[in-house]
């Protein structure tokens, strides 16, 4: 078995109450790494087309990668893969917390949960004894995610759902510690299996190819991260909310359901505000992460809890026209407890507010007003009254009540908190990403608009190349399974040090945005190991990796996801953006919306797809994609 892998897959059937340990397929691990890559391949192989995402036949796959369980910073994460009940296509989500560490300690790379239990159930997995216990969970059913983990106790690593998942809210997530695999409705799939919680433990040691070399290199990377202007300074000091002032200043923070990209009071939701007002004393982080991008806040009635992330203050703050940090922190805590994805929740609430504003539906929710929001979040999680409709997400709401032009989703997955009219490459990424409108499947906006280089968003240069490279990289990173913020660290501190507006900054920007084919060539090179991502992998596995190998593996995963989506009925027609983004200017003086129609054909060509967005046979052959 390749080093870094435990070499085992655990398959659990909740109906038959069986648990079988099988060897990890080494060939698949070589081709797809682990995490979402391995999970996607399993999902593709294990299921026929057209299954009901909330039926027992949809497997829920928890997958780690070769770096999980090590001390590599930002590596204690797991991926969850299944058919998404929200989009009907590939569903994948990633989570920090400690469950991934527990899986590797238990000697399990991949855990496949199949079937449906007759009653509420929880699993206890002891990796040392190779034992899986099926336990009655009726006493936990209905508990929030924090309360459930508290009841399960310390000593094991947990992954749980809240009432949102139990009641099949289509954007319910799975929580480990204070982190959530929020996207694509993976929590609803777990709820459909009547599986409340997984607890895991073990003491197995991770077998590495070059343990001393890996440790030494990891120490060096920790120092690099520590001195990095984003990872070691900005993110560490202000948390992810440190980005609010940047996106607000660049007209990119969703405001009133993406009607605008700027809110005059957004400063009140920023990391700087949090620091100035002493609202956050304690950082919070995923296990072993030196960046610690989370912040704890005081919530009346709940005490000190994990505070909102950038995505939450964007989608449940400015997007609702609300800039009261205490209110947003309270809603964030509620969503975490109920096990709901705050991105999809915020977009759906914003949509309900616009329906109200336009007189299309009496929702009782209004932009800029906090009244009724907390009650609606509860109603959504328990599917009461109108909450039952909102629990279906924005796309289904728009199909029932109208307003498709301002329903802010792609493929059914709600957009995250970067308006792509201020970041054209991000728009291409939203439109083409297989799981739908999401920013962590590439994060082009950072390399294009919100990071240190800020390419001109009003031209088309690099706007098709960047998403391809970034999506491939993200597929590989999500299969290792590392936090996407590791890729932010790929821009060296020297670039951050360039004075904005200065001639060196302008020159660097012009070179970058005109680099198109050269950029792809450099990122695709298999000659040199240049990033910690490929060096880490090589030191732990003993296999040779370079950025070019990661691009190839990422492209393979991306194309397999694409083939899965095509199989399930999603087509090139789904590679689009909401009408509002395509047609409406974001700010006064902007010509129109997003030029997706000019960029998509180029994107398809670079991908090796035909004009309908179908991968060409030679592309699949070259990448060794299994179909």
Dig out the tokens for 543 from the structure: 């296999």
**C-beta of 38 vs 485, nearer to ligand SF4:** 485
Contacts of 542 (CB under 8 A, 6+ apart): 2, 3, 209, 210
Report the candidate in 159, 482, 161 with the shortest Cα–Cα distance to residue 338.
Answer: 161
SS3 431: helix
Distance of CA 66 to the CA centre of its chain: 19
Which residues ranging from 57 to 76 are in contact with ligand SF4 (CB under 6 A)?
74
577 near ligand SF4, rule: CB under 6 A: no
CA distances from 285 to 76, 236, 295, 374, 617 (A): 10, 10, 8, 26, 43
Residues 330, 339: Cα–Cα separation, whole Å: 14
**C-beta of 68 vs 285, nearer to ligand SF4:** 285
Residues 165, 382: Cα–Cα separation, whole Å: 10
SS3 119: coil
**C-beta of 67 vs 623, nearer to ligand SF4:** 67
CA distances from 109 to 5, 76, 105, 464, 580 (A): 6, 13, 10, 35, 42
Residues 541-560, one symbol each (x = binds ligand SF4 by CB under 6 A, - = not), give --------------------
Residues 165, 170: Cα–Cα separation, whole Å: 8
**C-beta of 283 vs 602, nearer to ligand SF4:** 283
Residues 254, 79: Cα–Cα separation, whole Å: 27
Which residues ranging from 156 to 185 are in contact with ligand SF4 (CB under 6 A)?
none
**Using CA atoms in the order 565, 569, 570, 573, what is the torsion angle rounded to 10 degrees?**
150
**C-beta of 76 vs 432, nearer to ligand SF4:** 76
How many residues touch ligand SF4 under the rule CB under 6 A: the total is 11
**C-beta of 280 vs 291, nearer to ligand SF4:** 291
Shortest Cβ distance from residue 93 to ligand SF4 (Å)?
13
Which residues ranging from 472 to 491 are in contact with ligand SF4 (CB under 6 A)?
483, 485
Residues 179, 306: Cα–Cα separation, whole Å: 9
Residues 49, 46: Cα–Cα separation, whole Å: 10
Shortest Cβ distance from residue 524 to ligand SF4 (Å)?
26
Shortest Cβ distance from residue 359 to ligand SF4 (Å)?
41
SS3 540: helix
Shortest Cβ distance from residue 182 to ligand SF4 (Å)?
12
Report the candidate in 3, 20, 6, 44 with the shortest Cα–Cα distance to residue 434.
Answer: 44
**C-beta of 100 vs 120, nearer to ligand SF4:** 100
- Which of residues 96, 261, 593, 613 is near ligand SF4 by CB under 6 A? 96
Shortest Cβ distance from residue 531 to ligand SF4 (Å)?
17
Shortest Cβ distance from residue 94 to ligand SF4 (Å)?
9
Shortest Cβ distance from residue 291 to ligand SF4 (Å)?
4
**C-beta of 284 vs 432, nearer to ligand SF4:** 284
Please work out, in degrees rounded to the nearest 5, the angle formed at the alpha carbon of residue 169 by the alpha carbons of 166 and 172: 80
Instruction: Find the part of the chain contacting ligand SF4 (CB under 6 A) among 292-300, 446-454, 458-466, 496-504.
Output: 292-300
Dig out the tokens for 282 from the structure: 């304690």
- Which of residues 125, 221, 293, 553 is near ligand SF4 by CB under 6 A? 293
Residues 119, 233: Cα–Cα separation, whole Å: 48
Do 243 and 308 form a contact (C-beta atoms < 8 A)?
no
Shortest Cβ distance from residue 71 to ligand SF4 (Å)?
13
Neighbours of 332 (CB within 10 A): 26
294 near ligand SF4, rule: CB under 6 A: yes
Residues 270, 265: Cα–Cα separation, whole Å: 10
Dig out the tokens for 11 from the structure: 């398959």
Shortest Cβ distance from residue 456 to ligand SF4 (Å)?
29
Shortest Cβ distance from residue 368 to ligand SF4 (Å)?
30
Shortest Cβ distance from residue 107 to ligand SF4 (Å)?
23
Shortest Cβ distance from residue 294 to ligand SF4 (Å)?
6
457 near ligand SF4, rule: CB under 6 A: no
Which residues ranging from 261 to 290 are in contact with ligand SF4 (CB under 6 A)?
285-286, 289
**C-beta of 273 vs 485, nearer to ligand SF4:** 485
Neighbours of 50 (CB within 10 A): 10
Give the burial string for 541-569 (b: 16+ CB within 10 Å, else e).
beeebbbbbbbbbbbbbbbbbbbbbbbbe
Beta bridge partners of 110: 9, 63
**C-beta of 73 vs 350, nearer to ligand SF4:** 73
**C-beta of 240 vs 329, nearer to ligand SF4:** 240
Shortest Cβ distance from residue 74 to ligand SF4 (Å)?
4
Which residues ranging from 481 to 540 are in contact with ligand SF4 (CB under 6 A)?
483, 485
Instruction: Find the part of the chain contacting ligand SF4 (CB under 6 A) among 6-14, 291-299, 368-376, 519-527.
Output: 291-299
**C-beta of 295 vs 580, nearer to ligand SF4:** 295
- Which of residues 24, 60, 291, 417 is near ligand SF4 by CB under 6 A? 291
- Which of residues 292, 460, 495, 498 is near ligand SF4 by CB under 6 A? 292
**C-beta of 468 vs 483, nearer to ligand SF4:** 483
Strand order across the beta sheet in which 110-114 lies: 18-23, 8-13, 110-114, 60-63, 78-83, 90-95
Which residues contribute to the site for ligand SF4 (CB under 6 A)? 74, 96, 285-286, 289, 291-294, 483, 485
């Amino acid at each position: 078995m390749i080093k870094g892998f435990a070499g085992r897959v655990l398959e659990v059937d909740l109906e038959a109450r069986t648990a079988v340990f099988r060897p990890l397929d080494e060939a698949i691990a070589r081709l797809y790494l682990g995490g979402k890559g391995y999970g996607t391949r399993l999902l593709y192989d294990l299921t026929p087309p057209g299954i009901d995402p909330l039926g027992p036949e949809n497997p829920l796959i928890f997958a780690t990668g070769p770096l999980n369980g090590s001390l590599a910073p930002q590596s204690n994460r797991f991926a969850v893969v299944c058919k998404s009940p929200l989009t009907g296509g590939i569903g994948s989500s990633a989570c920090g917390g400690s469950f991934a560490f527990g899986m590797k300690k238990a000697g399990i790379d991949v855990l496949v949960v199949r079937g449906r239990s007759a009653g509420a159930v929880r699993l206890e997995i002891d990796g040392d004894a190779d034992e899986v216990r099926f336990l009655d969970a009726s006493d936990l059913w209905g508990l929030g995610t924090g309360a459930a983990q508290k009841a399960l106790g310390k000593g094991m690593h947990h992954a749980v759902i809240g009432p949102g998942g139990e009641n099949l809210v289509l954007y319910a997530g799975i929580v480990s510690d204070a982190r959530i695999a929020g996207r694509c409705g993976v929590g609803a799939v777990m709820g459909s299996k009547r599986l409340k919680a997984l607890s895991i433990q073990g003491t197995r040691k991770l077998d590495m190819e070059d343990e001393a070399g890996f440790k030494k290199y990891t120490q060096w990377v920790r120092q690099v991260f520590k001195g990095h202007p984003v990872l070691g300074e900005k993110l560490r000091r202000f948390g992810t909310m440190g980005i609010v002032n940047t996106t607000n200043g660049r007209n990119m923070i969703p405001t009133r359901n993406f009607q605008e990209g700027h809110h005059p009071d957004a400063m009140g939701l920023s990391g700087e505000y949090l620091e100035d007002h002493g609202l956050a004393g304690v950082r919070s982080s995923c296990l072993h992460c030196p960046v610690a991008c989370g912040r704890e806040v005081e919530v009346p009635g709940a005490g000190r809890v994990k505070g909102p992330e950038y995505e939450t203050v964007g989608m449940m703050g400015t997007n609702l026209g609300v800039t009261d940090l205490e209110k947003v922190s309270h809603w964030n805590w509620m969503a975490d407890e109920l096990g709901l994805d705050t991105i999809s929740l915020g977009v759906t609430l914003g949509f309900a507010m616009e329906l109200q504003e336009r007189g299309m539906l009496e929702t009782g929710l209004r932009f800029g007003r906090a009244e009724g929001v907390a009650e609606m979040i509860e109603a959504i999680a328990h599917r009461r009254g109108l909450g039952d409709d909102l629990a279906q997400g924005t796309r289904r709401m728009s199909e029932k009540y109208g307003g498709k032009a301002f329903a802010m989703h792609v493929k059914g997955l709600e957009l995250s908190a970067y308006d792509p009219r201020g970041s054209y490459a991000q728009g291409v990424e939203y439109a083409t990403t297989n799981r739908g409108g999401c920013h962590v499947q590439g994060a082009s906006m950072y390399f294009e608009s919100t990071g240190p280089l800020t390419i001109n968003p009003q031209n088309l240069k690099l706007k098709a190349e960047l998403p391809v490279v970034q999506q491939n990289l993200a597929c590989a990173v999500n299969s290792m399974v590392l936090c996407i913020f590791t890729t932010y660290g790929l821009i060296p501190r020297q670039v951050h040090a360039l004075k904005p507006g200065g001639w060196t900054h302008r020159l660097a920007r012009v070179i970058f945005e005109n680099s198109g084919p050269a950029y792809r060539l450099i990122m695709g090179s298999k000659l040199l190991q240049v990033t910690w991502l490929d060096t880490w992998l090589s030191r732990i596995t003993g296999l040779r990796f370079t950025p070019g190998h990661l691009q190839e593996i990422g492209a393979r995963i991306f194309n397999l996801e694409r083939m899965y989506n095509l199989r399930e009925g999603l087509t090139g027609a789904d590679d689009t953006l909401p009408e509002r983004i395509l047609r409406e200017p974001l700010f006064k003086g902007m010509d129109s919306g997003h030029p997706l129609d000019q960029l998509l054909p180029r994107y398809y060509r670079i991908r090796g797809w035909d004009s309908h967005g179908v991968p060409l046979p030679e592309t699949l052959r070259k990448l060794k994609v299994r179909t």
